[in-house]
Chain A
């Protein structure tokens, strides 16, 4: 299940929903990304996420499908915010349910690395010194490269 929404979400509710869907799974791993209060030593007053409606959802769905092929998971749940966000707010929720923990951990790790580098969102930070666009860092691309076929 994939959702891209402007409204806030409750990670606990999302986790419970996946647990209900994936009844019989041996475990669920999850990750919640939060809006940072500081970025490169600058205070962040507000973050704005722009998405491309339709294209963004299709791209995330394709990434989730790749994860389902790659890891023996029973279910995957991704919720991503767009619009204005305040520091501390959940921005992304990713969870995977599987028979065994390794597949669940790996699927979440893989999904986050791909979302960071490929999900069509553009981030603008608003701080005391003005605003700036944020793009994937080299460290994000290096994380993504760990999953390339060797």
Chain B
């Protein structure tokens, strides 16, 4: 199972902060997961496609071509607001 985490404005677009899914067939990397999550949901698709939304795989920032096989957690991170 893959845990997908949504932070900030993505929480609203996804309707929750977390989804647990089996890794979908044909979804090999982060870019493919972005597309798969938004396949039936234009608002979430657009939110995930924003260039300022980064991804972390198993707790470390990862590029869009990072492979997902054997991974446990993908987090989508919009711009932050600390301090």
Contacts and interface: CB of A to CB of B under 8 A. Distances in A.
Interface residues on A, range: 20 to 34
A72 to B, nearest CB: 24
B79 interface: yes
A71 interface: no
Contacts of A134: 81
B59 interface: yes
Given A52-B75, A52-B77, A58-B59, A116 B8 contact: no
Interface residues of B, number: 18
A118 B81 contact: no
Contacts of B48: none
B77 A120 contact: yes
Contacts of B56: 52, 55
Interface in A59-112: 80, 91-92, 112
B75 A55 contact: yes
Contact of B7 (A52, A58, A92, A119): A52
Given A50-B8, A52-B7, A120 B80 contact: yes
Nearest to A131: B12
B83 A135 contact: no
Interface in B1-52: 5, 7-9, 11-12, 17
Nearest to B5: A52
A122 interface: yes
Chain B contact residues: helix, strand, loop or mixed: loop
A29 B77 CA distance: 32
A80 B82 CA distance: 9
A24 interface: no
Given A54-B59, A55-B75, A135-B78, A122 B83 contact: no
Interface of A: 33, 50, 52, 54-55, 58, 80, 91-92, 112, 115-123, 133-136
Given A80-B83, A119-B83, A121-B83, 19 more contacts: A52-B7, A52-B56, A54-B59, A55-B75, A58-B59, A91-B83, A92-B82, A92-B83, A115-B82, A116-B83, A117-B82, A119-B80, A120-B7, A120-B80, A121-B80, A121-B81, A133-B78, A135-B8, A135-B81
